[in-house]
Amino acid sequence: MCQHCKDSSAPNPSHFEEGDGLANSPAHKEMAWSEYNELIQGMRFFDPHIHMVSRTTDDYQAMRQAGIVALIEPSFWVGQPRTGLSSFKDYYSSLVGWERFRSSQFGIKHYCTMGLNSREANNEPLAEQVMEILPLYIYKEGVVGIGEIGFDDQTPAEEKYYRLQLELAKEAKLPVQIHTPHRDKKRGTERSMAIALEHGLDPSWVIIDHNNEETVKSVLDQGFYAAFTIYPFTKMGNERMVKVVEQYGPERIMVNSAADWGISDPLALPKTAALMKMRGISDEAIRLVTYQNAIDAFGKSGQIDVSDFEGGLSVEKTEKFHGNSILRGGQQPDVSKDSLVIQ
């Protein structure tokens, strides 16, 4: 157990592992997130992996209220294969355009990583076209890395475009955000790291994402950053995350939500911080895994200035992006969600 931590039997404010008796306990049913939220008042969070194009304005508001001040949105697939290059262009443009603006309107600094995701790397004719346009986007303001790239089914095509994008990251001097496969994860993770090292990347510039207990030791031992996704009932639960931090400490570990169009939780990061606090993990360790380590890793891009968000973003909701606003018609900038009547 790391020196920052001690055991506790407190219930989980996010969700429970299958078969956990706490999941059905009266205390868990009665306690709302708002009660746990008090534990982390005043803390700041940086979510280094969340897909906000899939989320709502309510999510943005809840995230800011929970202390999330900055985020990174990795480029990924949209749930179905894209059919042409124009759809990639529009998507990449939205990550450095409208979505960054939309995030700022809720007081959250938005960054992104750019890349060809592993699923769509298997459409080689389209993948070749995407590789030609990627250099047009990776040097834009707010792009903090190449990602998320790597393996899904671990096909030859996925490896081909993974290698090409590692070389692109080296050329652009950008960190790399690696997606590890859901199936055969350990082999895929080891393969991803071996190829990155083969291409001469400094492991401290590489973030290995979607880790679990099976992969974390090797990732840390080889000098990479280990990112963990708190995703309900699939990737990692936050009780397991607490145990990882207790065992390995906070160095080069970061927590994210990877919230997307699936059943996911954009508040997974602050909820995990609250659980860590309940379990006796120090505030400094919590700060590292939920804020500082992400800044240190992706800050190598030269794009992150903490003064942009540490004191809070100034928000003017009447601002427009290409003539468009988050407001509609005569809508007021602040709408009460507590009122029964919607005007």
Q: Please say if the pLDDT value at position 322 is more than 80.
A: no
**Quick one: pLDDT at residue 2?**
56
The average pLDDT across 8-24 equals: 37
Predicted confidence (pLDDT) per residue in 229-274, tens digit: 998 766 688 899 999 999 999 999 999 998 899 889 999 999 999 9
**Quick one: pLDDT at residue 122?**
96
The average pLDDT across 133-156 equals: 97
Q: Please say if the pLDDT value at position 166 is more than 60.
A: yes
Predicted confidence (pLDDT) per residue in 40-93, tens digit: 999 999 999 999 999 999 999 999 999 999 999 999 988 888 999 999 999 999
The first and second tokens of residue 65, run together, are 């209220």
Burial of residue 199, with CB atoms counted within 10 A of its CB: 0-12 exposed, 13-18 middle, 19 or more buried: middle
Bigger pLDDT: 26 or 107? 107
φ and ψ of 272, to 5 deg: -65, -40
- In which band, very low, low, confident or very high, does the pLDDT at 338 lie, cut at 50, 70 and 90? low
DSSP 147: E
What is 181-225 written as a DSSP string? PSSSHHHHHHHHHHHHHHTT--GGGEEEES--TTTHHHHHHTT-E
**Quick one: pLDDT at residue 340?**
45
The average pLDDT across 105-121 equals: 96
Closest CA to 244 of 58, 5, 79: 5
Output the pTM of the full model: 0.88
Say which residues have a Cβ less than 8 Å from residue 315's Cβ, sequence separation at least 6: 104, 105, 106, 107
Q: Please say if the pLDDT value at position 290 is more than 80.
A: yes
**Quick one: pLDDT at residue 278?**
93
- In which band, very low, low, confident or very high, does the pLDDT at 196 lie, cut at 50, 70 and 90? very high
Average pLDDT, the chain: 87
**Quick one: pLDDT at residue 28?**
47
**Quick one: pLDDT at residue 329?**
62
Closest CA to 159 of 202, 204, 127: 127
What is 286-327 written as a DSSP string? HHIIIIIHHHHHHGGGS---GGGTTT-----TT--BTTB-SS
**Quick one: pLDDT at residue 157?**
97
The first and second tokens of residue 77, run together, are 């697939």
- In which band, very low, low, confident or very high, does the pLDDT at 133 lie, cut at 50, 70 and 90? very high
Q: Please say if the pLDDT value at position 20 is more than 50.
A: no
3-state SS, 111-145, equals: EEEECCCCCHHHCHHHHHHHHHHHHHCCCCCCEEE
Q: Please say if the pLDDT value at position 12 is more than 70.
A: no
**Quick one: pLDDT at residue 17?**
38
Bridge partners (DSSP) of residue 143 are 112
The average pLDDT across 95-107 equals: 94
